[in-house]
Amino acid sequence: MAFRSIEWIEDKGVLRLIDQTRLPDTLVYLDLTDEHAICDAIRDMKVRGAPAIGVAAAYAIVAAAKRSKAESLKDLREDLRAADNSLRASRPTAVNLFWALDRMARVIGAATSMKSLRTSVLAEARAIEAEDVAVNQAISRYAMEVVPQRATFFHHCNTGSLATVDLGTALGVIRTAHESGHEVFAYLDETRPRLQGAKLSAWELMQYGVPHAVIVDGAAPHIMRTKGADLCVVGCDRVAANGDTANKIGTYALALAAKDNGVPFYVCAPTSTIDMTTQTGECIEIETRDEGEITHINAVRVAAKGAGVYNPAFDVTPARLISGIITEFGIAKPPFEDSLMRIMKDKHDG
């Protein structure tokens, strides 16, 4: 089954998104016409995954520009600033959201008329969308340098086509290895509390015919030790300048298990997720989500009524546990202060 996670339909003025909260049971597309609905979809995780959030936010600005009743460039910019502000408040950890909105803000600032603004925000959102696909393909190409012919992977959360525009980052690496003839097996952390691994990554790998097993998060160290593993591949929501990496809660535990078992641990990172203005992981804001995500599964209470709950949605894996950061410009190796700096410089020098 082919699917497109995110798509702007210009003649209808709608952003078409897969509602990821309905998967794997139902494949439902949402047609969203206004920036408030897109913002809510990001906050409620109908669209999720750092790159997909960035693209959705860019199109929210396009939708806001289209809908605005402003009669001057100044007022149109005001309307877009309001949209920008609410989007920035939707989810704090994934830097792609802020990166995409910064790109849109530069274009808005450069426009000389209402017409040119509307044309250029659409062009910029389309560019962000197209770049995401190319970047993921490049990440997969570089990743093949470290994927052995017979490869048992561990993977956390969902980093596939659903989390991006297409292919994905870490899950894209697993899929690419399989499609290019490697003998692949993937252990998928179910990824409590929202179960992105069990619900979304398993759904994707089934469609691509990739052999896999969903495991409970706590089983990863045991399975690594008893069954063996060749590498872990994970995505990221923000990589600090020193390589510390924020990703879905449970990633740090997987990295510790990998270290203890001598398994290489790779972060797949589009450079849009590398934040050189954040020096270390300690400076990354970690989103805390609703306690209902822990007390209930699919609306069924599983925790004792009245139980205390703490629900950080992300954690930070220290750079010392990371073997390499696979970007669209190559694989950064420790010390990441130097290798990430070089990669970001190459990117800006073109």
CB of 231 to ligand MRU, least distance (A): 16
Q: Which residues are annotated as a binding site for substrate?
A: 48-50, 91, 196, 247-248
Nearer Cβ to ligand MRU (32/246): 246
Give the residue closest to ligand MRU by C-beta. Answer: 235
Query: What is the contact surface with ligand MRU in residues (CB under 6 A)?
Result: 48-51, 94, 157, 159, 163-164, 168-169, 196, 235-237, 247-248, 313
Whether the CB-CB separation of 84 and 136 falls below 8 Å is answered with no
Smallest distance, Å, CB 93 to ligand MRU? 8
Considering the complex, what minimum distance in angstroms separates the CB of residue 110 from ligand MRU?
29
Please state, in angstroms and rounded to a whole number, the distance separating the CA atoms of residues 327 and 270: 5
Taking the least distance from each CB to ligand MRU, the nearer of 50 and 108 is: 50
- Rounded to a whole number of angstroms, the minimum distance from the CB of residue 234 to ligand MRU is 6
To ligand MRU, the closest distance from the beta carbon of 163 in angstroms equals 4
Residue 70 vs residues 105, 120, 226, 341: alpha-carbon distances, Å: 17, 17, 64, 42
From the list 118, 128, 135, 124, the residue with the least C-alpha distance to 76 is 118
Active site residue 237: yes
* CB closer to ligand MRU out of 51 and 330: 51
Contact 337, 242 (CB under 8 A): yes
Catalytic residue, from 84, 132, 230, 237: name it: 237
d(Cα 176, Cα 186) in Å, to the nearest integer? 13
Which of 35, 237 has the CB closer to ligand MRU?
Answer: 237
- When the beta carbons of 103 and 199 are compared against ligand MRU, the nearer one is 199
For 113, counting Cβ atoms within 10 Å of its Cβ (0-12 exposed, 13-18 middle, 19+ buried), the class is exposed
Tokens of 213: 């097993």
Edge-first strand order for the sheet with 212-215 is: 212-215, 183-189, 150-155, 231-234, 265-268, 324-327, 330-332
Buried b (16+ CB within 10 A) or exposed e, 56-67: bbbbbbbbbbbe
Q: How far is Cα 325 from Cα 220, in angstroms, rounded to an integer?
A: 21
Residues with a catalytic annotation lie at: 237
